[in-house]
Structure 1
Amino acid sequence: MDLGCFTAHEQYPPGRLLEHVAAAEAAGFDAVWTSDHFHPWWHTGAECGAAWPWLGSALERTDDVRIGTGVTATVGRYHPGLVAQTFATLGAMYPGRVHCTLATGEALNEKPLGYDWPPYAERRRRLIDACEIVRSLWNGEVCDYEGHHWETDDAKLYTLPDEPVPLYVAGNGPETARVAGRYADGFLTLADVETYRTELVPALEEGAAEADRNPEEIDRIRQFSVSYAENYDDALDAVEFWTGSMAVDFDDDVYHPPRIEQLAETVPREKWTEWGLVTTEIEDVRAAIDRHREAGFDEIEFLSTSPDQERFIEAVGSLTAMTS
Structure 2
Amino acid sequence: MTTQLERKLIEMFIDESRIATDKRPWFGQLPEGLTNDFSFAVMGDRCGMMTAGVFEKGLELLQDLRPDFVLFVGDLVEGYWKDAAKACEEWEYIDAKIAATSLPFFQTIGNHDYGTQAMVDVWRERKGMDYYAFRIGDSLFLTLNTEDPFDAMPDEFIDVVKRSTEKVHQEPERTMEYMKEFYDEIISLLTPEQQQGMNHVNVGISAQQLAFFEKVLTENADAKHTFVSMHKPGWKAESVEFARLEELLADRPYTVFAGHFHSLEYSQQDNRTYIQLGRTGAAAHGTGRADDNLILWVTVRSGSVSYRVMHLDGVTDVAAYPPHSHEQKEG
Q: TM-score, normalised by structure 1?
A: 0.36
Q: Which has the larger radius of gyration?
A: 2
More helix, by proportion: 1
